């Protein structure tokens, strides 16, 4: 499953917009766990409803192999995205990398005000850019991959995560790196790997500027992953249509 999701940055995982998160097992989790707490507004509690089926071994082996390759050679995601956009310039406005200065991470207690029925204002206009409100982060060096790829737990629910306090709690207690809304509806019937490009920080500061680039980053990783898997191994895996028929 390839798409976009919200990141859960922490001191242990310096996740930025455009980075890629890949679901991999950790502890008792198969890589994705499901939770639900109804309305996702600040200071509401959540309910952990269980882990989802494990990812097929052939995919996990490919993830580990690709990780080793990236460690020595770099992931090349930015270059892959640029190569596509160079051939399709009309796509650059929607899928090109936004200005890195727009990648702003607010402190968890800074909440974007929302007035029902009113147009949403930009975070800079409403919340400002006072350093006391922002999480200080160093620029990535030229030797670092940008975007980066992280492996770990992805949390899935039927509601959008936009609460930084609960985000931090789940990251701290369950090692969550990313939040999304689709895997929970599929993985019990069709075990798969979840790949998400980070388009926001799972808080109240939502915007669409990074959606396209995050999707491209995730797709670039997925392409490289498929090249790691022998065709014979893919043919041996259960097809989605067969899984649906048997469910």
Q: Per-residue DSSP letters for 128-169?
A: ---GGGB---PPPPTTS-SS-EEEEEEEE-SS----HHHHHH
In-domain check, residue 123:
no
Q: What is the dihedral of CA 97, 98, 102, 104, to 10 degrees?
A: -30
* pLDDT tens profile 20-65: 999 998 876 778 888 764 444 444 555 555 556 678 889 999 999 9
Calculate mean pLDDT across residues 104-117: 83
Q: Provide the greatest CA pair distance for the chain.
A: 55
As for how many domains the chain has, the answer is 1
Predicted local distance difference test score (pLDDT) of residue 240: 46
Token pair 């609960």: residue: 166
pLDDT at 18: 98
Provide the pLDDT for residue 238: 56
Instruction: Answer whether residue 119 is part of any domain.
Output: no
Report, as an integer, the average pLDDT of 124-152. 89
What angle (nearest 5°) sits at the alpha carbon of residue 75, between those of residues 221 and 175? 70
Q: Supply the pLDDT for residue 94.
A: 96
Q: Residue 228 and residue 241: Cα distance in Å, rounded?
A: 24
Locate 243 and state its tokens. Answer: 């899984």
The residue ranking higher by pLDDT, 233 or 105, is 105
Indicate the pairing of strand 32-36 with strand 47-51.
antiparallel
Mean pLDDT in residue range 70-95: 96
Sign of torsion, CA 226 232 234 235? positive
Mean pLDDT of the chain: 85
Residue 159 confidence (pLDDT):
82
pLDDT at 174: 87
Cβ count near 120 (within 10 Å): 12
> What pLDDT score was predicted for residue 74?
96
Domain region containing 171: 2-98+145-246
Write the CB contacts of 85 (distance below 8 Å, at least 6 apart in sequence): 91, 92, 95, 96
Task: Look at residue 69 and tell me if it is in a domain.
Answer: yes
Does a structural domain hold residue 125? no
Does residue 149 fall inside a structural domain? yes
The tens digit of pLDDT for each residue in 143-196 reads 999 999 999 999 998 888 999 999 999 999 889 999 998 876 665 666 789 999
Please tell me the predicted confidence (pLDDT) of residue 207.
Answer: 80
Torsion over CA: 186, 187, 193, 199 (sign):
positive
Q: How far apart are CA 54 and CA 36, in angstroms?
A: 20
pTM, to two decimals = 0.87
Structure tokens at 213: 């680039």
Q: Which of 82-86, 138-142, 242-246 has the lowest mean pLDDT?
A: 242-246
What's the pLDDT band for 123 if we cut at 50, 70, 90? confident
CB 147 within 8 A of CB 19: yes
pLDDT at residue number 155: 92
The answer to whether residue 201 is domain-embedded is yes
Q: According to the model, what pLDDT value does residue 40 have? A: 43
Among 86, 67, 98, 79, CA closest to 214:
98
Q: Which has the closest alpha carbon to 169: 20, 37, 65, 16?
A: 37
In a domain, 108, yes or no: no
Q: How far is CA 236 from CA 33, 57, 186, 245, in A?
A: 26, 12, 20, 18
Tokens of 70: 């990236």
- Give a yes or no: residue 162 inside a domain: yes
Note the residue count of the chain. 247
Q: What is the pLDDT of residue 150?
A: 98
What distance in Å separates the CA atoms of residue 247 and residue 242, rounded to the nearest whole number?
A: 9
Residue 71 confidence (pLDDT) above 80 = yes
Interval 193-245: pLDDT, tens: 999 999 999 999 988 899 999 999 999 999 999 999 877 665 555 554 455 45
Domain harbouring 225, CATH code: 3.40.50
């Amino acid at each position: 499953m390839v798409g976009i999701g919200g990141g859960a940055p922490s001191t242990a995982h310096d996740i930025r917009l455009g980075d890629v998160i890949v679901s991999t097992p950790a502890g008792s989790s198969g890589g994705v766990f499901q939770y639900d707490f109804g309305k996702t507004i600040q200071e509401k509690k959540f309910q952990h409803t269980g882990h989802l089926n494990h990812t097929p071994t052939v995919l996990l082996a490919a993830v580990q192999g690709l990780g080793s390759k990236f460690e020595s050679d770099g992931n090349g995601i930015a270059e892959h995205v640029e190569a596509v956009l160079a051939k399709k310039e009309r796509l650059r406005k929607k899928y090109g990398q936004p200005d890195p200065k727009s990648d702003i991470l607010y402190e968890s207690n800074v909440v974007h005000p929302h007035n029902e029925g009113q147009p949403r204002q930009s975070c800079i206009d409403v919340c400002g850019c006072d350093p006391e409100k922002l999480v200080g982060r160093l620029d990535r060096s030229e030797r670092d991959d940008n975007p980066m790829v992280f492996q770990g737990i992805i949390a899935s629910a039927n509601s959008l995560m936009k609460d930084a306090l609960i985000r931090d709690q789940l990251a701290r207690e369950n090692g969550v790196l990313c939040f999304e809304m689709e895997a929970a509806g599929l993985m019990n019937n069709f075990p798969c790997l979840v790949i998400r490009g980070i388009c926001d920080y799972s808080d109240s500061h939502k915007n669409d500027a990074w959606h396209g680039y995050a999707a491209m980053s995730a797709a670039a990783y997925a392409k490289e992953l498929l090249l790691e898997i022998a065709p014979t191994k893919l043919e041996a895996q259960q097809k989605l249509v067969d899984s649906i028929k048997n469910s």
